[in-house]
A and B are shown apart, each in its own frame.
Chain A
């Protein structure tokens, strides 16, 4: 698998503000890469630079091993899908799809062939004569994808394409985009702030913050082995539970202590990286805490149920425990009354420990 898109030392400054700082990123041929981050992290800026809609202050961009840093967007072999769909309101769907081809002077029969193919793939054939105003949000976004499709591009760029849709349509189109990628096998770069979209669609996710990529990995690695505190807190809903404390020695073994309560570190994969006296943060995901279950380790923590949020398949408990409020995910059929006392145990083999100073995972 060769590289499709390559970003080298990309820097972008707006006046005194540095949006992107010497950013490097290699995207494989046919890869689905998701740029994930909260608003203002530079993910859309990066996408716009790749598209050629923003001029970088410094650095280079390669697409298909060709330096396109100074190329016009149309010459980069990219197609782009926007959050607001950006369909030309005065043109019919057909004209919207063919606009780029008509500008390029493509022969009419070739245009007709490509439009028909795109319409078939996206199932928008019956809509071709309509104007965008007469389409629903999902249909509009499909047309917007089609506009990239007809141009036969190497790389698809998506800028928050589903953010304007309601929840149901969003999950439907998410599946369609994934299917589209499976069928076309084009390189796709997808910007979103929605971690569900990122986790479900991506081959790899790049989590960005303040113009810097925090972690670039496949979704499961990001979820299970977040490189630092930011990534750990950003990915996962509800967020990972964090305990601030330190490593102490107890009976010859290293344990974690938070607010005077000891946590056994049995099962943690990297106890050798810890030193006694180290200030750390323990992070445990809501589904890695067990409520009233017999565990081999034999260590239990007492907690009180504060709020119960039944979600159907899951049941989310908010518990009070050593001065924290913990979220714990249990099976949907196990119900608890607020105020009931429960016994917790922690699955340390899936937990993460971060250094308080460097915020890196140990």
Chain B
């Protein structure tokens, strides 16, 4: 026995792996099904948006376009009618940008300081404050719609873009503060102590020590806010007027327009255009996003 084992024959080196093992088939099969499940609707949207109406009427939604046309995209952007206006999504796009940019900046700026304070500068009642904030994160927005309308009317911001910006900033606060607080809590406390011994105060520690090492969580917050605010429909429709409708509301009005023929290709193109911004954000910052989500588990 021993002689055979020591002869040099038999297993040696890495164990060979079979490509078509049951396990591999399960894993890749599941992944494939899931991927198709998610990719197919997107595919249908893209091909439909590139077809002309006659081709769509033929009814085969899965076939690639025989003749590629970008006219639906142009129409969706610049000509589609919503009620009285016939300048497509372009007006809504500008509105959405005007809403999103300040909302994202203000909410993140305030929430990061909130989170930093809650994590590092414990004040009397900090825990109670934090609990209230967390409760805020779980209350459905619909409950607060009407009171918010009254408040905005009282301060004269109802129907204004600035009013919607305020709403987005306020409603983003609980989740963002929680996010930043947890991130800053996960940073070594000794870093903060070292800063204090070195003579840095509240803002010096925040700007010179904490901010430079918090890029991942800022990216996470930015993605959450940009996509959340850009995709928002409810607040947009409640707190603005037709002139100031954000893109999502505009899109809804185009797609749900009851006059004339349903232009599926224009609708699909409009939807894709509206989705481009969040999509772009994901692609550009996806890697940082994952890093930020995982940041709590990694030592600095």
Residues of A within 8 A of B (CB): 48, 51-53, 72-74, 78-80, 82-90, 99-100, 103-104, 147, 151, 159
Contact = CB atoms under 8 A, between A and B. Distances in A.
Given A86-B194, A88-B191, A74 B199 contact: yes
Contact of B190 (A83, A99, A147, A151): A83
10 contacts: A52-B196, A53-B193, A53-B197, A73-B199, A74-B197, A74-B199, A82-B190, A88-B194, A88-B195, A103-B204
Nearest to A103: B199
Contacts of A90: 212-213
B112 to A, nearest CB: 16
B193 A100 contact: no
B193 A84 contact: no
B67 interface: no
Given A88-B209, A89-B213, A89-B300, A73 B197 contact: yes
Interface in B194-216: 194-200, 204, 208-209, 212-213
Interface in B170-210: 188, 190-191, 193-200, 204, 208-209
Contacts of B196: 52-53, 72-74
Contacts of A151: 198
B197 A78 contact: yes
A344 to B, nearest CB: 48
Contacts of A159: 190
Contacts of A87: 194
B193 A86 contact: yes
Nearest to A157: B197
Given A86-B190, A88-B191, A103-B204, A80 B209 contact: no
Given A82-B190, A86-B190, A103 B197 contact: no
A103 B194 contact: no
Contact of B198 (A53, A89, A147): A147
Given A89-B213, A90-B212, A74 B190 contact: no
Contact of B188 (A48, A74, A86): A86
A287 B128 CA distance: 57
Given A48-B193, A89-B213, A99-B200, 16 more contacts: A52-B196, A53-B197, A72-B199, A73-B199, A80-B194, A82-B193, A84-B188, A86-B190, A86-B191, A88-B195, A99-B198, A99-B208, A103-B198, A103-B199, A103-B200, A104-B199
Given A90-B212, A90-B213, A103-B204, A84 B197 contact: no
A100 B213 contact: no
Contacts of A78: 197
A327 B188 CA distance: 41
B197 A51 contact: yes
Tell me which of A99, A104, A151 has the highest count of chain B C-beta atoms within 10 A of its own C-beta.
A99
Contacts of B200: 99-100, 103
B62 to A, nearest CB: 51
A74 to B, nearest CB: 3
Listed from nearest, the 4 A-B pairs whose CB atoms lie closest are A74-B199, A100-B198, A86-B190, A90-B212
B217 to A, nearest CB: 14
Contacts of A52: 196
B209 A100 contact: no
Contacts of B190: 82-86, 159
B194 to A, nearest CB: 4
Tell me which of A85, A87, A90, A147 has the highest count of chain B C-beta atoms within 10 A of its own C-beta.
A90
B128 to A, nearest CB: 15
A88 B207 CA distance: 12
Tell me which of A83, A85, A86 has the highest count of chain B C-beta atoms within 10 A of its own C-beta.
A86
A274 B201 CA distance: 59
Contacts of B204: 103
A357 to B, nearest CB: 42
A99 B213 CA distance: 16
Contacts of A86: 188, 190-191, 193-194
A21 B298 CA distance: 37
Nearest to A90: B212
Contacts of A84: 188, 190
A51 B194 CA distance: 10
Nearest to B191: A86
Contacts of A100: 197-200
Contacts of A48: 193
A100 B209 CA distance: 12
A99 B190 CA distance: 15
Contacts of B199: 72-74, 100, 103-104
Contacts of A73: 196-197, 199
A51 B195 CA distance: 12
